Chain A
């Protein structure tokens, strides 16, 4: 499965707004997603927004990127207006949630 549009967008923006190379930017976002238990192919806007606010700033700080919190907030702002087809109803957790009361 290929990487999602959301992953590509955030990685490209990070590359443009920081000193990270394309490979470094994509690798950093991928690592942040992995730490959050997410995948670059299936991440949703809502999930990526949480990662941008809670995980990625730490990753950027360890790579000496200036103002990581501000940069991540700007990236989250870019995502906020994004409208994409959501497949959230077909995810394994959505199916398991429907199989029994929670």
Chain B
């Protein structure tokens, strides 16, 4: 393991995450896998790194008070349950030798879907800009099927009256992703909160970061306890490089045009997904592999 390559990786992903306001976990884990870090370690260490990268963003939201703690706690309950189920599934898959495959498949699907959506969206925005029409945010309608569910609860800060079923469900799904893929999941949670739950944009990012910090922290501790898969040195190098890279990313991001940047990130996301897909399909150098219980020691 070369420290400078890890530093470079952390800084590059930090830079991108600062530029686009994403957590970066969904890029760190595949990069670590490309660098031949065992996927078990890449995922658990990725979750640990996300704790740090979400922390500074979350702190500024805490200071400004742009989060709904009540909503965050309900999300968090789902998230902790999801992470617990996810780690159980993770250990099971590892035991039967299918973990690496499932991690890769999930990443191919996720990166492919996110990359495609981002690319389409940014291309549409670019076309609109070329036609000199104002870029308008799609105005979400007031109600959908989600708002007809029972068990409603009032979230004062968000000024909504919402069933806790979709909130807990969303938290649960993100928790599963955190434990199996080592991501914070903000890139799914934020759009889901805005378009599905109709939560005001002002509190969405802060609330999602609030839940991400606790779920990734919980995942880190459980992964360390059950799978001994957290590499604290690797995580620390990634964190330090990441938080520094993010600062420069933010500055550059403010100077460049959003739609073009998003199109670039979309292409990068698609490229990472494609590389993982190729690795799944290409004939492996050796169709046999051997593991002993203590191989990661």
Q: Do A and B come from one complex?
A: no
Q: Which residues of A contact B (CB under 8 A)?
A: none
Name B's A-contacting residues (CB within 8 A): none
